[in-house]
Amino acid sequence: MKAQLLKTPFLLTICLLILVSDGWAQTDDWAEVAPGVWKLSVGKPEAYNLLTASGAQPNQEALGRLEKPAGFPLPKGEIAVWVENNKTYLRFPLEQGEQLYGFGLNFQTVHQRGKILKLHVDHYGGKDNGRTHAPTPFYVSSNGYGVFVNAARYIDVYAGSAVRKDSKHPPKVQNRNTDKDWSARPYSDAVEMLVPAEGADVYVFAGPKPMDAVRRFNLFNGGGCLPPRWGLGFTQRVHRLYSADEVRNEAAEFEAKQYPLDFIGLEPGWQTKSYPCTFEWAKDRFPDPAGFVKDMLQKGVRINLWTNPYVSPEAPLYPQIAPYTGSHTVWVGAVPDLTLPEAKAIYWKKFEDEHLRIGVSGYKIDEVDGYDTYLWPDVATFPSGLSAEQMRQTYGLLVQKQSADLFRKRNQRTYGLVRASNAGGVSLPYVIYNDYYSHEDFITALINSGFSGTLWTPEVRASKTGEEWLRRFQSVCFSPMAMINAWSSGTKPWSFPEVAEEVKTIAQLRMRMMPYWYSEFAKYHFEGTPPFRAMNLEDGFRAEVRKEVVTASLEENPYVEAVSKEVKDQYMAGEYLLVAPVFTGQKSRKVILPKGKWYDFYTGKYVGNGEVITVTPGLDKIPVFVKDGGIIPIMPPLLHAPKPGQKVDLEIRHYGEKPAEYRLYDDDGETFDYEKGQYSWRVLKVERQKSGPWKGSISAAEKGKPNTVGKVTWTFMTQ
């Protein structure tokens, strides 16, 4: 039985319902489950899904604070859902000219209309085909709404690629013999999805703008994570076989050379055995783990531990956990079924007792994505009865949620790394990374992270030249986690002496901008606005939509298509900044400025308005532009994030011609007390005085609320 159309007369609907048994959902049955969020349960949705695995809870209050939507954002009559052959079919309409974004952490494309994807957790393999670290089943339309399928399944997506016989807006039949306009891919007026399950919960998020739909999705998932302040400093991951002494020396070198450093990541060698793991400190390299961690903390440097979840038969916890593991191994290590309370208790106790208790601050949880060649196969079974597929789609969520809860229990925030996530993971304090290493594609991933409820770091590992090193370093300092991952290369920020000073300057800039980054993450948490995101979410942005010239001949590729131009090499960072990274070999680049006046971040000079400019920044600068009326709070270049309560002097920079206001967030920077109201927003205001010059002011500190603002000075960048 087929697509069900809305506004079907009541009696007819009843007859249809009887005809098709329990496969149907009424497409009139959309229930508003939160302000601007509608849910439809199709067929028999599975109890285990992305939101249950992640434990995500909607932030109803924050959703209620967003602009009230006009109503359901799509023509309900053009949505069709049904269950057939034990699978759930979903169809959503598309209008001409509508563009789609999202469908997870893609690396090469931002525009998703026309794509055919299988959303499948995997290590990114070089193609945007749905197999990626966070294949979030959520898309946003340029028409200003979002759609989310809450299923822990491999979902097939035809994002405006297929043409039905009963299409409401069918393409014209063309004759290739004679029509110049013949296309190998005729116009499609729908997104169609296939969920391999007998039902699924589907959600629609209202706009009116695409950014509003993204905010609603993020808030529905609990709001973005608020990292501890130190998470936004600089982090170095050391060589995999480093000993405690080598780590100590490395930290001392950072200090001596005056490079900022907030946390150090230990790679596999802190464990006696890895791949599979024992989770035991290697005493030859770390004879006194507690003493070592304490020592480092005293120096202002936190410790983050790498692990993958797979349990070595030689691990002391193996006998206990073995009954609660899957049928198949990963590198001959057992895979804990972390949906079982018994497995959870046994597994995480180890981490709690031997890491958190001695002061370890976070984890990097590796290898929870794929590849198929080493991960458990789809024929694996798990004692909970969940399928290998469900486990694959959610394992990243399970390890994030469960490890984050260990820290939450101690009223301590964490910020770590993970290689797989999914919808539901928005509020979990983890950043995704991978082994792929294209600088350009890393930036596109950063752009797409804002559509998929994830954070991504374009980590720096190694480089062929100083130029490449510096260019990558500049990008990572304008991302959710400023990091060198030297697990294999042993590189340090100063590894390329010819650019060591420039690297230091940008690392210091990262630290100086901490008040800005921290406030922007607070907006992610409280308001759902992704701190790093696509230009497409920016008001006044219009990509140069033009057809690219395709030169392939009929013989080369008879199905070759022109694609519309997408912008995937510049992005927004926080409320005001437009970042346009420069890649190795480039001396200049084009930057598309949205409508409105824009100013150079470094000089405050006017650069343009709604136009394409060409910049030649020199090797030492990453091009960054500030919106008219932008306010950027800056602190001194400390080597470590300020401690709770530590007063910090601020230089408030104002750009452009507009008077402006900025909300500066403050709390203790480390605990969850902000959830009990222990936080404050200070209003920074810049106005013109009657006599002409600018004047800045900051609202008074609220009594009884955290206040870390020291002396405030004002710089009016645009003269």
**364 vs 597 by CB, closer to ligand GAL:** 364
Tell me the H-state helices in 384-513.
Answer: 388-409, 439-449, 466-476, 500-512
Q: Which residues contact 518 (CB under 8 A, 6 or more apart)?
A: 229, 232, 665, 669
Task: Report in angstroms how near the CB of residue 497 gets to ligand GAL at its nearest.
Answer: 25
Task: Report in angstroms how near the CB of residue 480 gets to ligand GAL at its nearest.
Answer: 16
Which of 367, 468, 538, 600 contacts ligand GAL by CB under 6 A? 367
Which of 128, 366, 467, 600 contacts ligand GAL by CB under 6 A? 366
Q: Which of 413, 387, 380 is nearest to 310 (CA)?
A: 380
Long-range contacts of 47-51 (CB under 8 A, 24+ apart): 48/152, 48/339, 48/386, 48/390, 48/394, 49/150, 49/151, 49/152, 49/200, 49/201, 50/137, 50/150, 50/151, 50/152, 50/393, 50/394, 50/397, 50/422, 50/423, 50/424, 51/150, 51/221, 51/423, 51/424
Task: Report in angstroms how near the CB of residue 433 gets to ligand GAL at its nearest.
Answer: 6
Q: Are 38 and 204 in contact (CB under 8 A)?
A: yes
- Residue 634 to residue 510: CA distance in whole angstroms: 10
Q: Which residues contact 437 (CB under 8 A, 6 or more apart)?
A: 461
Q: How many alpha carbons lie under 13 Å from residue 461 in its C-beta half-sphere?
A: 14
Task: Report in angstroms how near the CB of residue 425 gets to ligand GAL at its nearest.
Answer: 18
Residue 594 structure tokens = 């949205």
Decide: residue 18, CB within 10 A, 0-12 exposed, 13-18 middle, 19+ buried: exposed
**234 vs 306 by CB, closer to ligand GAL:** 306
Q: Which of 481, 484, 479, 509 is nearest to 494 (CA)?
A: 484
**82 vs 263 by CB, closer to ligand GAL:** 263
Task: Report in angstroms how near the CB of residue 597 gets to ligand GAL at its nearest.
Answer: 41
Q: Are 157 and 443 in contact (CB under 8 A)?
A: no
Binding of residue 310 to ligand GAL (CB under 6 A): no
- Residue 649 to residue 471: CA distance in whole angstroms: 30
- Window 469-488: contact mask with ligand GAL (x via CB under 6 A): ----------------x-x-
Binding of residue 467 to ligand GAL (CB under 6 A): no
- Residue 414 to residue 576: CA distance in whole angstroms: 27
Task: Report in angstroms how near the CB of residue 75 gets to ligand GAL at its nearest.
Answer: 45
Task: Report in angstroms how near the CB of residue 514 gets to ligand GAL at its nearest.
Answer: 25
- Window 82-121: contact mask with ligand GAL (x via CB under 6 A): ----------------------------------------
Q: Are 618 and 499 in contact (CB under 8 A)?
A: no
Task: Report in angstroms how near the CB of residue 233 gets to ligand GAL at its nearest.
Answer: 19
- Residue 1 to residue 85: CA distance in whole angstroms: 10
Task: Report in angstroms how near the CB of residue 367 gets to ligand GAL at its nearest.
Answer: 6
Which of 24, 92, 139, 306 contacts ligand GAL by CB under 6 A? 306
Nearest residue to ligand GAL, by Cβ distance, number only: 487
**211 vs 484 by CB, closer to ligand GAL:** 484
- Window 388-427: contact mask with ligand GAL (x via CB under 6 A): ----------------------------------------
Binding of residue 268 to ligand GAL (CB under 6 A): yes
Which of 22, 61, 288, 435 contacts ligand GAL by CB under 6 A? 435
Task: Report in angstroms how near the CB of residue 431 gets to ligand GAL at its nearest.
Answer: 12
**488 vs 588 by CB, closer to ligand GAL:** 488
Binding of residue 371 to ligand GAL (CB under 6 A): no
Residue 236 structure tokens = 């170095």
Binding of residue 122 to ligand GAL (CB under 6 A): no
Tell me the H-state helices in 559-689.
Answer: none
Residue type, 491: T
Task: Report in angstroms how near the CB of residue 274 gets to ligand GAL at its nearest.
Answer: 7
**30 vs 456 by CB, closer to ligand GAL:** 456
Binding of residue 304 to ligand GAL (CB under 6 A): no
Task: Report in angstroms how near the CB of residue 568 gets to ligand GAL at its nearest.
Answer: 23
Number of neighbours of residue 681 by Cβ within 10 angstroms? 16
Longest dimension (CA), the chain: 80
**250 vs 667 by CB, closer to ligand GAL:** 250
Binders of ligand GAL: how many residues, by CB under 6 A? 9
Q: How far is CA 292 from CA 286, 301, 302, 696, in A?
A: 8, 11, 11, 46
**318 vs 437 by CB, closer to ligand GAL:** 437
* DSSP-derived 3-state class of residue 325: strand
* DSSP-derived 3-state class of residue 405: helix
Binding of residue 430 to ligand GAL (CB under 6 A): no
Q: Mapped to the 3 state alphabet, what secondary structure does 536-581 carry?
A: HHCCCCCCCCCECCCCCCCCCCCCCCCCECCCCCCEEECCCEEECC
Task: Report in angstroms how near the CB of residue 235 gets to ligand GAL at its nearest.
Answer: 13
First to last CA, the chain: 68
Dihedral, CA atoms, 97, 102, 107, 112, nearest 10 degrees? Answer: -30
Binding of residue 240 to ligand GAL (CB under 6 A): yes
- Window 47-86: contact mask with ligand GAL (x via CB under 6 A): ----------------------------------------
Task: Report in angstroms how near the CB of residue 307 gets to ligand GAL at its nearest.
Answer: 10
**367 vs 668 by CB, closer to ligand GAL:** 367
**268 vs 429 by CB, closer to ligand GAL:** 268
**493 vs 629 by CB, closer to ligand GAL:** 493
Task: Report in angstroms how near the CB of residue 446 gets to ligand GAL at its nearest.
Answer: 17
**191 vs 484 by CB, closer to ligand GAL:** 484
Binding of residue 674 to ligand GAL (CB under 6 A): no
Within 527-556, the residues that bind ligand GAL by CB under 6 A are none
- Residue 642 to residue 648: CA distance in whole angstroms: 7
Q: Are 680 and 701 in contact (CB under 8 A)?
A: yes
Which of 267, 337, 441, 670 contacts ligand GAL by CB under 6 A? 267
Q: Are 332 and 311 in contact (CB under 8 A)?
A: no
- Residue 276 to residue 330: CA distance in whole angstroms: 7
Task: Report in angstroms how near the CB of residue 417 gets to ligand GAL at its nearest.
Answer: 8
Residues within the interface to ligand GAL (CB under 6 A)? 240, 267-268, 306, 366-367, 435, 485, 487
